[in-house]
A = this chain, B = another copy of it.
Amino acid sequence: MSETGRRVSVEDLATFITRALEAAGLGSEDACKVGKLMALADTIGGDAHGVFRLPQYVSRLKAGGYNSKANIAVVNERAATAVLDGDNAMGHLVMSRAAEIAIKKARTTGIAWVGARHSNHAGPASIYARMPLEYNMIGVYVAVGSANHLPPWGGTEMLLSTNPIAIAVPAFERPPIVLDMATTVAAYGKVKTHAQRGEPMPEGWMIDREGKPLTDASRSNEGFLLPIGGPKGYGLSLMFGILAGTLNGAAFGRDVVDFNADDTTETNTGHFIVALNIDAFCDVGEFKKSIDSVWEEMKSSPLLPGYEEIRLPGERSHRVELDRRSNGIPIHAALDVALAKVASELGVEPL
C-alpha cells in the first residue's frame, strides 16, 4: 500500500471514525468499538478495509441499511459451537462478539466454531483471526465477501465472492504468523484502491467477459476476478461460501447483495471464526518456540534470483504496524478529500 499522504495517529483516526459513526446514527458504545477496529485495520496495513470504507458505512447507516439498534443474539448453541444472528448490525460488532464466544468456549472444549448470519462487512479478516492470539489460541476466520466478483470456473455469471480466509498463529519472540488472503489473485478492495488512485492493475487480477486481461481498475465492473490456481481457488471460494454462508443461513450465490452498489438492502452476510486452544494439543511455550523456529527456518532458505528476502505471512503487516504506531497512519490525498466531505456532511470535526 502507498505510504504517501499526511500521517494521523491511531487514536486520532479511531476517535474521528467514532464521532462520524455516532453522528450517522450508531450508538456511542458501538461507534467506539467499530472505530477502534477500523483504525486497527489501517494500523496493520489493511488499507482497503479500514477508514477507506467509512464513507460507504456512513451512507449505509444514514440510508437505514444497517440496524443501528441491533440485538445480536445466539440462536443455536452446543458446547463447542454457536450461531449468532447479527440482526443486521455492523459486521465488526457481530464478529467481535463471535470471537469472544469462541474464545470462551475453546478454553474448556479445546476448539470452538462460531458462525454468524445477518451480519455485514467486517473489515480485514486478520483482525478477527488475531483475537484468539492473546489467549494462547490459534484463530481462523472466513467470510462470504460482500459482493460477487467471480463466476464458477468456466462460467461467466458472477456467483462467487473473494471469500477470504485468515489464520493467525502465535510465536514466542517473533511476531505471530498471520495469513490473510482472498481466494482470488487480488482482493476486490485492492481493485477499489487502484481505481480511487487511478493506478492500473497488473495482468492476472481480472479478465473481461471474453476471457481477456482487464487492467483498467475503473472498468472493474466489466469483468471478474480470477481465483488462485484456477479451479482450486474456485473450489476454495465455493467451500468457504458454503461454510460461512449457507451453513449459517446467510447469503451465498445469487442471494449475495452487492454491498458496494446498494446502501439499503440487508446483506445477510455470513462469517465464521474458529478458536483453537493450543493447550489442548501441546505445551503452549514449546509450541510458540517452535513457531519461532519455523520463522528462522523459512528465512534461512537461499533465494531465487530476483528476490531479496523470504517473508512470512503477516511480516509485512507487522512492519507496517510498528511504523504506523510510531509515525501515524498515512492518509492518501484522495481519501483525505473523501473523509473531509463525510465530516462536513455529518457536521463533525474533521480528521
Name A's B-contacting residues (CB within 8 A). Answer: 76-81, 83, 108-113, 115, 138, 151-157, 159, 167, 169, 177, 179, 181, 185, 210-211, 228-229, 231-233, 235-236, 238-239, 242-243, 246-249, 252-254, 276-278, 280-282, 287, 290-291, 293-294, 297-298, 300-313
Contacts and interface: CB of A to CB of B under 8 A. Distances in A.
A133 B249 CA distance: 19
A52 B211 CA distance: 38
B177 A307 contact: no
A80 B110 contact: yes
A281 B83 contact: yes
A301 B159 contact: yes
A280 to B, nearest CB: 4
A291 B238 CA distance: 11
Contacts of A235: 179, 181, 313
B81 A277 contact: yes
Given A228-B228, A228-B229, A306-B211, A80 B83 contact: no
Contact of A76 (B113, B281, B302): B281
Most buried by B among A152, A167, A291: A152
A179 B242 CA distance: 12
Contacts of A80: 79-80, 109-112
Given A81-B281, A111-B111, 18 more contacts: A77-B280, A78-B111, A81-B280, A138-B247, A152-B310, A154-B308, A154-B309, A156-B303, A156-B304, A157-B300, A159-B298, A167-B243, A181-B236, A238-B298, A238-B313, A247-B282, A248-B282, A254-B297
Contacts of A177: 238-239, 242
A112 B115 contact: no
Given A297-B253, A305-B211, A155 B79 contact: no
